[in-house]
Amino acid sequence: MNKELMKPAPVFILFMSTLLLPELAFSTDLDLEKLAKAGKLEVVNRTMDQTKADSPGVVFLNAAQGDGLAWIAGEEFSEGTIELETKGKNQPGLSFIGVAFHGQNNRIYDVIYLRPFNFQSSERGNHSIQYISLPDHDWLDLRNLHPGIYESSITPAPDGESWVKLKLVIRGGTVSAYVNGANQPALIVSLLNHRSGSKLGLWVGNGSDGWFRNLSITPAIN
């Protein structure tokens, strides 16, 4: 048999390559410390204190009353995957940390966030991860009106003082949140709005500070 006939045609190779490339080409890894130094983090109701950043690539947002944000300047996000690592504290009521997305402004956005102080609680472990859609659907209204739908436990439960990897897959009006590389999402919810707004940022809740690192963004390929 002619060995030349057994070789894949160049056109076929090119076609297969175009199918495989997009999953790799659209992922963006962001060094948050470098973004902070370049003025690419738009901080709202917080300050960054890099003296408390415990390793390269980390940013630290201080505690204050009300919610705090650090929008990623120039990054637009609608659907796809967001990955980052966060670290809060094992202090009840004083550690709420996560990701804001679909932001319209400093008041209108969605959040997936963690409550590290609940991770290993036998009584409140089911309040470990939360979805909210501001300003109309904050956590208390969702808990009272839809108990157990927009918050959940995390299995296995992380340590409340540890770095936690959070992966959000946002597609088709649904967000699935995975923690520490788990194969199954800790939380799956339908978004409570029809926004496709693009602002993306780091988020800390009332009275909370927190550490962030290793942000990666992969937009969905339509």
pLDDT in tens, 70-113: 999 999 999 999 999 999 999 999 999 999 999 999 999 999 99
Diameter over CA atoms, the chain:
77
Is residue 4 classed as helix, strand or coil in its secondary structure?
Answer: helix
Whether the pLDDT of residue 39 is over 50: the answer is yes
- How far from 96 is each of 3, 24, 49, CA to CA, in Å? 63, 32, 18
Q: Are 66 and 37 in contact (CB under 8 A)?
A: no
Hey, what domains does the chain have and what are their CATH numbers? 29-219 (2.60.120.560)
Strand segments, DSSP code E, in the chain are 28-30, 41-44, 59-61, 68-76, 80-87, 97-103, 109-114, 129-134, 151-152, 164-171, 174-179, 187-190, 199-204, 210-219
* CA-based nearest residue to 204, from 114, 109, 75: 114
Structure tokens at 160: 């409340």
With bands split at pLDDT 50, 70 and 90, how would you rate the model's confidence at 208?
very high
Is residue 33 classed as helix, strand or coil in its secondary structure?
Answer: helix
Residue 111, CB-side half-sphere exposure with 13 Å CA sphere: 28
The pLDDT assigned to 203 comes to 98
With bands split at pLDDT 50, 70 and 90, how would you rate the model's confidence at 9?
very low
Whether the pLDDT of residue 15 is over 90: the answer is no
H or E element that contains 136: none
Q: Alpha-carbon distance 74 to 219, whole Å? A: 14
pTM for the whole structure:
0.88
Whether the pLDDT of residue 8 is over 50: the answer is no
The pLDDT assigned to 124 comes to 97
Whether the pLDDT of residue 43 is over 90: the answer is yes
Given CA atoms 218, 178, 140, 62 in this order, what sign does their dihedral have?
Answer: negative
- Among 49-53, 66-70, 101-105, 189-193, the range scoring the smallest mean pLDDT is 49-53
- The average pLDDT across 35-42 equals 97
The pLDDT assigned to 51 comes to 93
- The average pLDDT across 17-21 equals 40
With bands split at pLDDT 50, 70 and 90, how would you rate the model's confidence at 196?
confident
Phi, psi of 204 (to 5 degrees): -130, 145
Phi, psi of 30 (to 5 degrees): -120, 130
The pLDDT assigned to 11 comes to 39
Residue 121 makes CB contacts below 8 A (sequence gap 6+) with none
Neighbours of 216 (CB within 10 A): 14
Whether the pLDDT of residue 18 is over 50: the answer is no
Q: Alpha-carbon distance 192 to 142, whole Å? A: 11
Q: Determine what percent of the chain is predicted with pLDDT higher than 90.
A: 84
Structure tokens at 3: 């060995």
Q: Alpha-carbon distance 183 to 58, whole Å? A: 26
With bands split at pLDDT 50, 70 and 90, how would you rate the model's confidence at 26?
confident
H or E element that contains 213: strand 210-219
